[in-house]
């Protein structure tokens, strides 16, 4: 476009504006550009494990303001990672058998078809952020242990003791009650051995353009053997995203999920036309079929719990567990809320 045309266009616009000031009816209407309706491919939606109730709300708010889906997801799960009262992820997560908190996380960004993950990360409160840095700035996907820690420090993260007084007390109680025949003294015989909690948050989300991402973060199985990593940092198991289909992830016994690549499998079920909840149930049936006999009860049902969460490109979402479960969701029409998930069995 030439300078002359540009000036003529400017002068014409100025005249119309002046006319609009003097006579605000017909001239102003003629000067307005035609109204264009913005196409919306999907509805905003976020689905997560029940401990992500705050995260789905924050993630949805950020997406509606234009924040990228992956960035919104990381901000959502960071709420739990930074909460010292939450023993499931991040700061205050339950440690391994030596009293060391080792964290895992992974994420996948649908629009760029990239993923990042860290495993057995020590001393860094927000492994989800470190996983995102692996995705953004390297050609790798998974960094582990000392290498993951040094990578985080190189980006300015501060190394801290992640064991809070509360999580340390739980670890000490477990140590003192592992068994009456071990070498530890002062065992309280009236207190049964502590259960082995699993703690994870999975968050899957889609914006109005149908852009999808997923994030999973965890402190892993409590009292685990040092170096153990579950499904959370494994792309295709703990979480998975296909930008043309949807996203899915899991919480619960990670080893059972690894055996079926549950995140990937759930997305594949959706690719074949299944709704998110049906896709989760189909994956759970594969989990049961792959469960070793030592983890099956007398009725042939697994002795552990595992859940899957999923969202498709249109913004439909769902959840299912082996046994009754709850999950968190937030969308265009509904605020953050807990819902009942589907399940295969009524009780263990």
CB 42 within 8 A of CB 210: yes
Q: Catalytic residues, which ones?
A: 200
* In the chain, domain spans: 45-82+102-156+196-343
Give whole-number Cα distances, 48 to 169, 275, 307, 309, in Å.
29, 16, 10, 7
Query: In degrees, to the nearest 5, what angle opens at C-alpha 238 toward C-alphas 87 and 111?
Result: 115
- pLDDT over 90, % of the chain: 78
pTM: 0.85
Closest by CA to 226, choosing from 150, 146, 164, 303, is 146
pLDDT of residue 12: 41
| pLDDT tens, residue by residue, 246-289 | 999 999 999 999 999 999 999 999 999 999 999 999 999 999 99
Tokens of 30: 């003629």
- Which one has a higher pLDDT value, 196 or 279? 279
Alpha-carbon span 95 to 291, nearest angstrom: 26
Phi, psi (deg, nearest 5) at residue 109? -110, 110
Domain 45-82+102-156+196-343 grouped into CATH 3.40.640.10: no
pLDDT of residue 345: 96
pLDDT over 70 at 31, yes or no: no
pLDDT of residue 174: 87
Q: For residue 325, give every residue at least 6 positions away whose Cβ sits within 8 Å of its Cβ, in sequence order, or none.
A: 50, 305, 307, 319, 340, 341, 343
């Amino acid at each position: 476009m030439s300078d002359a045309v540009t000036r003529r266009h400017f002068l014409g616009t100025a005249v119309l504006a002046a006319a609009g000031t003097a006579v605000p009816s017909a001239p102003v209407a003629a000067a307005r550009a035609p109204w264009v309706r913005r196409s919306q491919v999907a509805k905003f939606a976020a689905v997560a494990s029940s401990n992500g109730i705050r995260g789905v709300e924050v993630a949805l708010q950020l997406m509606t303001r234009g924040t990228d889906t992956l960035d919104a997801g990381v901000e959502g799960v960071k709420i739990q990672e930074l909460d010292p009262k939450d023993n499931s992820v991040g700061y205050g997560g339950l440690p391994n058998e030596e009293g060391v908190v080792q964290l895992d996380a992974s994420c996948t960004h649908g629009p760029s078809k990239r993923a990042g993950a860290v495993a057995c990360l020590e001393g860094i409160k927000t492994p989800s952020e470190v996983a995102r840095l692996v995705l953004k700035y390297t050609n790798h996907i998974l960094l582990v242990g000392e290498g993951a820690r040094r990578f985080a420090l190189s980006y300015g993260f501060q190394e801290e003791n992640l064991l809070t007084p509360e999580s340390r007390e739980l670890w000490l109680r477990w140590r003192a009650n592992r068994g009456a025949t071990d070498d530890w003294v002062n065992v309280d015989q009236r207190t049964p051995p502590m259960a082995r909690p699993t703690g994870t948050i999975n968050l899957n989300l889609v914006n109005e353009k149908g852009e999808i991402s997923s994030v999973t973060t965890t402190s892993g199985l409590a009292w685990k053997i040092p170096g153990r990593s579950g499904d959370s940092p494994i792309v295709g198991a703990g979480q998975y995203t296909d930008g043309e289909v949807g996203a899915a992830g899991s919480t619960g016994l990670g080893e059972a999920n690894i055996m079926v690549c549950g995140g990937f499998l759930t997305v594949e079920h959706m690719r074949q036309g299944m709704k998110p909840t049906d896709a989760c149930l189909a994956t759970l049936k594969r989990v049961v079929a792959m469960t070793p006999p030592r983890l099956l009860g007398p009725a042939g049902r697994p002795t552990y719990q595992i859940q899957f969460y999923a969202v498709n490109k249109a913004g439909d979402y769902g959840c299912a567990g082996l046994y009754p479960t709850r999950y968190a969701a937030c969308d265009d029409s509904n605020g953050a809320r807990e819902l009942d998930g589907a399940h295969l069995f009524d009780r263990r």
